[in-house]
Amino acid sequence: MQYQYPERLQCAILDWAGTVVDFGSFAPTQIFVEAFAELGVELSLEEARGPMGMGKWDHIRTLCDNPAIAARFKQAVGHMPSDADVTALYERFMPLQIAKIGEHSALIPGALEAIATLREQGLKIGSCSGYPAIVMEQVIARAKDNGYEADHVVATDEVPNGRPHPAQALANVIALGVSDVAACVKVDDTAPGILEGRSAGMWTVALTCSGNALGLSHNEYTNMAPNLLAEQRARIEAQFAPAQPHFMIDTIADLPAVVAEINARLARGERP
């Protein structure tokens, strides 16, 4: 048998919050602030957004490893944050998160149309998230009510290691019967999500304006002065650069044009 390069994409693996739903990725960030506040620890939205894209336990652990946050934690609680404290915060986070999902479940404008275009071209739609399965149940149900249903979903606690490890992306490859990782594109609004796709050997597309990095509502985004938006876009592109995404676009609405370019590159024998 002889190896043959894939000539077209077979699958798009999409993140959820900040990619397909919840423009600005507000649902997870506010809950981190509230969970820490219950212990008397002040946490800003900017700090909460820092490790976004990781599994939520790992996200909290990373926040607690921040020296400034750890110092505030020690002042409020009396000791430096341990893994047991992280688990306790995670357990506080979960019911708050489930309750908050409904407030931020709207589909990102243009998502349905873009995904429909990809399906018409024969692509399967995989998905994964930093949310655990119990939260994803709520996200999936609300997205279905709004007209979106992925072909497969992998939650962060359904694999041994979440992002930036490649396990969730690769679980989609296996479940959807994709013949080659080079025939997949991973789309995400966070650096850990891009690293996930990179580590899995896939094409990667970073979303600069719909998710965590910009952190604005769709209305705020569309009403931002062009020069200010250009400045923010440049800042976010520099933020994504170490993860080395193959493409950077504003929102998922721009994805079909990127898919066309990837298909052209695959047809020329290029690889991710």
> What is the Cα–Cα distance from 225 to 49, expressed in whole angstroms?
23
Q: At what angle do helices 111-120 and 255-267 cross, to 10 degrees?
A: 30
> What is the Cα–Cα distance from 231 to 224, expressed in whole angstroms?
11
- Which residue among 22, 56, 58, 100 is the active-site one? 56
- Which residue among 15, 22, 188, 189 is the active-site one? 15
To the query of whether residue 189 is one of the catalytic residues in this protein, the response is no
> What is the Cα–Cα distance from 160 to 203, expressed in whole angstroms?
23
Question: Tokens at residue 264, please?
Answer: 């052209």
To the query of whether residue 56 is one of the catalytic residues in this protein, the response is yes
Hey, is 58 helix, strand or coil? Answer: helix
> What is the Cα–Cα distance from 64 to 214, expressed in whole angstroms?
23
Q: Which of 101, 112, 178 has the alpha carbon at shortest distance from 140? A: 101
Which residues carry out catalysis?
A: 15, 56
